[in-house]
């Protein structure tokens, strides 16, 4: 017993030395790294900043119901709340990496404890270090992503699962429940790593000695994560389905099922890869050991789950890959495991220090790199300079100045522009992406010359760049270059701003047509009066327009009459066409106010719009009489809702508020909807519509929404 304590003490000391070495490596990396966070990393930094500011301002409802980022599912808050201390430093992106070190410590201690339970001795330490020093862990250590924390909590949960002895012991069972809740509050995918636990719980649920502990563990877990998930499920579920198929290939095509197996060769190194996967399947028969199957189930259940999910990235499999450390410890002689640890320490250090350059090794199914690196770099991508310049050039009376970004490279993209703008607290500039109409309602545009980004991530960008650089295109008539910066990849960032037009862009004073159509807009009996041109402001001070009906993005609006203040627009049609007309196509540059005088939307038009916008939605009935009542089905689920529609002055929004909701015949308690109970359309300037909207009032009567 005394010798065993000495060995355990030496192992813990060795683990402490390893973690100290990792801290030194991380510090060296941070001192040498000046690049901005990449795509998802910037999104996580922005979410953490949103939490920090909401907490500082005491906006507690916002903390629980933080709005998700465009196109992204809501993220559970635990990881982002852990990043809050980073915002007290001068460089929060660098400081955020220290949170990874604490999760690395949790991962190391958990794997060591599991390995030591199976095989007490130095092999447990060596196997733990061999995995935690691997290139994939070093890569995760130096990036602002959730996956290393998820792997750490998953390993800790497996430690509790093994020690609860099939849920026959109280404390480990309750700890498992708490860790399950913590994992779910890190990321929605955590449930996929715990499949062996579900099997054990179901198998032992009828055992009187285990039943209470299983239910208690489940209760602790549900109490920890269910409230947040119930509040966010209406938005989270459909977005998760979309995200899972992003860039996806079905698992039965082209060897996709083997993706994680083959890519793990480079991720953990060839020696660990061989010993880990072989060790996982070696038949072992050790006296008194009956939980070895859990390790096999841990790795394989995770592998099968994530191999089936179309969007495959090694970081998603990382919590399952960690189980190979236990397989190495259990299967191989101590000296071999110690030698493996030494090799892995070198590989891990090399990945951050670059002593040996990567060597490409050809393999029959997939090549891999020996000595892969994740080196830091001192690079200034000039994003802060560009944003500050745009803020400086923006007119003081323009509350929202959109900036369209034509680039999507790892260190020059929409998410890191958006995060840095928010962090720098620039009040007016907002970041927008390119759409079919290029940069409508954008005061500024940034074009990156050279590479625009990976091929899979630049849809529409090459065409946009070509138009921007074409002197005959409408863009050159409407925008001018106001700044240029060299970038680290030998390209340049070019900032454009809207021109002050010296002459009226249209020769005619207006337009009168039985039908006028410009994608995504169509109008019947359409009449426009541009009015006088203000050369000083470079706009039309007051424009009136009316139509018997218009169709905008699939929504038909009848009896439309509007007034527009300070409108700037330019012809955008093909001037080389034989029958070119200045109204063939137009691009809106700016307006300060849209005043809706009259408008009407029928229940039939709203039904068509909703069905076209939400794929899989079938609207059975819509009534508009004081309230909006909808009965529909979405992917075989029957839904019904009653909502009020009103205009608020503070904040100035058009608000749709759910008053009743039913799923099938079951009435949904409204508190479960949380912030999703209401949907606001801003009537003040915002990135989508950077102008004021005045609506004199609205009524719901005779199955029609009418203004006024």
Q: What is the pLDDT of residues 320-352, one digit of tens each?
A: 999 999 999 999 999 999 999 999 999 999 999
Strands 704-707 and 637-649: unpaired
Q: Which two tokens stand for residue 515?
A: 């039908």
- Give every CB contact of residue 400 below 8 A, 6+ residues apart in sequence: 428, 430, 685, 686, 687, 690
How far apart are the C-alpha atoms of 252 and 259, rounded to whole Å? Answer: 11
Task: Give pLDDT tens digits for 157-212.
Answer: 999 999 999 999 999 999 999 999 999 999 999 999 999 999 999 999 998 889 99
pLDDT digits (tens, 9 = 90+) for 76-113: 999 999 999 999 999 999 999 999 999 999 999 999 99
pLDDT at 148 over 90: yes
The token duo for 680 is 């606001």
pLDDT at 13 over 60: yes
Q: Which of 13-17, 161-165, 637-641 is the least confident region? A: 637-641
Write down the pLDDT at residue 3. 83
Query: What is the DSSP-derived secondary structure letter of residue 702?
Result: S
- Give the number of other CB atoms < 10 A from CB of residue 17: 11
Position 365 scores a pLDDT of 78
Q: Are 375 and 411 in contact (CB under 8 A)?
A: no
Kindly tell me the sign of the dihedral angle through the C-alpha atoms of 65, 67, 69, 72: positive
Q: Look at residue 286 in the predicted model and tell me its pLDDT.
A: 60
Average pLDDT of the chain, as a whole number = 91
At 256 the pLDDT is 83
Given pLDDT bands bounded at 50, 70 and 90, which one contains residue 671?
Answer: confident
Q: Give me the pLDDT at residue 287, please.
A: 57
Residue range 201-260, pLDDT digits in tens: 999 999 888 999 999 999 999 999 999 998 887 777 767 766 655 656 677 777 788 999
Residue-level pLDDT at 233: 78
Q: What average pLDDT does range 647-656 have in this prediction? A: 90
Pick the range with the lowest mean pLDDT from 213-222, 575-584, 690-699: 575-584
More confident residue, 573 or 307: 307
- Residue 245 has a pLDDT of 55
Where does residue 134 rank: exposed (0-12), middle (13-18), buried (19+ CB within 10 A)?
A: buried
Would you say 505 and 570 are in contact if contact means Cβ atoms under 8 Å apart?
Answer: yes
pLDDT exceeding 70 applies to what percent of the chain? 97
Q: Report the DSSP pairing between strands 617-625 and 593-602.
A: unpaired
Confidence bin at 285 (pLDDT 50/70/90): low
The answer to whether residues 594 and 685 touch, using CB atoms and an 8 Å cutoff, is: no
Q: 644-658 burial string, b = 16+ CB within 10 Å, else e?
A: ebebeeeeebbbbbb
Nearest-angstrom CA–CA distance, 153 and 399: 44
Domains of the chain as residue ranges with CATH: 2-370 (no CATH), 383-498 (3.40.190), 510-591 (no CATH), 602-707 (no CATH)
**pTM, two decimal places:** 0.90
Alpha-carbon distances, residue 255 vs 269, 365, 402, 559 (angstroms):
21, 9, 44, 58
Q: How confident is the model at residue 312 (pLDDT cuts 50, 70, 90)?
A: confident
63 vs 350 pLDDT, higher one: 350
CA nearest 298: which of 183, 158, 166, 152? Answer: 158
Q: What pLDDT score was predicted for residue 546? A: 93
Check residue 1 and give its pLDDT.
65
Closest C-alpha to 428, from 407, 412, 444, 447: 444
Q: Which of 503, 598, 500 is nearest to 548 (CA)?
A: 598
What does the pLDDT read at residue 246?
60
Checking if the pLDDT of 513 tops 60, the result is yes
Q: How many CB atoms lie within 10 A of CB 606?
A: 20
pLDDT for 521 equals 79
Q: Shortest CA distance to 107 belongs to which of 65, 138, 81, 66?
A: 138
pLDDT for the residue numbered 214: 96
Tokens found for residue 584: 């063939």
Lowest mean pLDDT among 192-206, 463-477, 669-683: 669-683
What is the pLDDT, as a whole number, of residue 248? 63
Burial class (CB in 10 A: 0-12, 13-18, 19+), 486: exposed
pLDDT at 612 over 90: no
Cα–Cα distance, 173 to 164 (Å, whole number): 5
Mean pLDDT lowest among 58-62, 427-431, 560-564, 619-623: 58-62
Q: From CA 431, how far away is CA 511, in angstroms rounded?
A: 33
Mean pLDDT of 693-706: 92
Q: Cβ contacts of residue 312 below 8 Å, gap of 6+? A: 248, 249, 256, 259, 260, 306
Q: Tell me which DSSP letter residue 441 carries.
A: T
């Amino acid at each position: 017993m005394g010798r065993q304590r000495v060995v355990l003490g030496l192992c813990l000391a060795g683990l402490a030395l390893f973690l100290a070495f990792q801290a030194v490596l991380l510090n060296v990396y941070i001192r040498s790294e000046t690049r901005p966070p990449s795509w998802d990393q910037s999104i996580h930094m922005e979410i953490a900043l949103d939490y920090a500011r909401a907490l500082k301002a005491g906006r507690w409802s916002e903390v629980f119901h933080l709005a998700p980022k465009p196109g992204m599912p809501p993220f559970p808050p635990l990881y982002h709340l852990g990043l809050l201390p980073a915002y007290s430093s001068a460089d929060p992106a660098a400081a955020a990496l220290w949170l990874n070190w604490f999760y690395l410590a949790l991962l190391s201690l958990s794997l060591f404890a599991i390995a030591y339970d199976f095989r007490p001795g130095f092999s447990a330490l060596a196997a733990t270090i061999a995995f935690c020093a691997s290139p994939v862990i070093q890569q995760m250590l130096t990036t602002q992503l959730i996956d290393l924390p998820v792997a750490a909590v998953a390993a800790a949960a497996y430690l509790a699962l093994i020690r609860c002895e099939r849920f026959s012991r109280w404390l480990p069972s309750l700890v498992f429940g708490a860790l399950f809740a913590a994992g779910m509050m890190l990321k929605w995918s955590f449930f996929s790593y715990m499949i062996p636990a579900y099997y054990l719980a179901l198998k032992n649920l009828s055992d009187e000695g285990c039943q209470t502990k299983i239910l208690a563990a489940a209760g602790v877990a549900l109490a920890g994560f269910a409230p947040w998930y119930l509040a966010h499920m209406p938005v989270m579920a459909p977005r998760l389905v979309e995200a899972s198929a992003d860039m996806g290939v079905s698992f039965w095509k082209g060897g996709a099922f083997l993706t994680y197996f083959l890519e793990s060769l480079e991720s953990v190194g060839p020696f660990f890869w061989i010993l880990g996967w072989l060790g996982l399947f070696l038949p072992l028969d050790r006296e008194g050991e009956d939980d070895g199957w859990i390790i096999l189930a841990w790795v394989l259940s995770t592998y099968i789950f994530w191999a089936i999910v179309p969007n495959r990235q090694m970081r998603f499999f990382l919590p399952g890959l960690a189980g190979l450390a236990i397989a190495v410890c259990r299967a191989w002689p101590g000296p071999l495991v110690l030698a493996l640890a030494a090799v892995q320490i070198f590989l891990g250090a090399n990945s951050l220090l670059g002593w040996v350059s990567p060597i490409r090794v050809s393999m029959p199914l997939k090549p891999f790199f020996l000595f892969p690196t994740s080196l830091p770099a001192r690079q200034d991508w000039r994003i802060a300079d560009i944003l500050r310049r745009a803020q400086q050039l923006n007119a003081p009376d323009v509350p929202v100045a959109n900036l369209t970004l034509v680039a999507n490279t790892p260190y020059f993209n929409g998410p890191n522009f958006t995060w840095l703008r928010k962090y720098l607290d620039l009040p007016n500039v907002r970041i927008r992406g390119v759409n079919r109409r290029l940069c409508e309602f954008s005061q500024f545009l940034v074009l990156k010359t050279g590479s625009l980004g990976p091929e899979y991530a630049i849809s529409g960008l090459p065409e946009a760049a070509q138009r921007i650089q074409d002197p005959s295109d409408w863009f050159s008539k409407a925008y001018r270059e106001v700044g240029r910066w060299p970038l680290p990849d030998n390209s340049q960032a070019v900032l454009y701003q809207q021109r002050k037009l010296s002459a009226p862009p249209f020769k005619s004073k207006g337009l009168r047509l039985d039908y006028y159509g410009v994608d995504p807009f169509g109008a019947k009996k359409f009449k426009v009066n541009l009015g006088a041109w203000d050369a000083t402001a470079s706009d039309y001070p007051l424009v009136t327009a009316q139509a018997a009906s218009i169709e905008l993005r699939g929504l038909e609006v009848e009896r439309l009459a509007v007034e527009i203040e300070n409108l700037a627009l330019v012809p955008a049609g093909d001037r080389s066409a034989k029958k070119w007309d200045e109204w063939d196509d137009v691009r809106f540059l700016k307006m300060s106010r849209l005043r809706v005088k009259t408008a009407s939307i029928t229940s039939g038009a709203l039904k068509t719009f909703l069905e076209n916008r939400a794929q899989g939605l079938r609207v059975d009935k819509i009534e508009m009489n004081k309230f909006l009542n909808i009965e529909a089905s979405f992917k075989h689920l029957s839904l019904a809702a009653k909502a009020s529609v009103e205009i608020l002055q503070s904040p100035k929004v058009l608000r749709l508020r759910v008053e009743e909701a039913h799923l099938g015949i079951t009435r949904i308690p409204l508190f479960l909807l949380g912030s999703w109970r209401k949907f606001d359309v801003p009537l003040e300037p915002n990135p989508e519509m950077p102008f004021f909207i005045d609506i004199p009032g609205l009524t719901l009567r005779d199955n029609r929404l009418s203004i006024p």
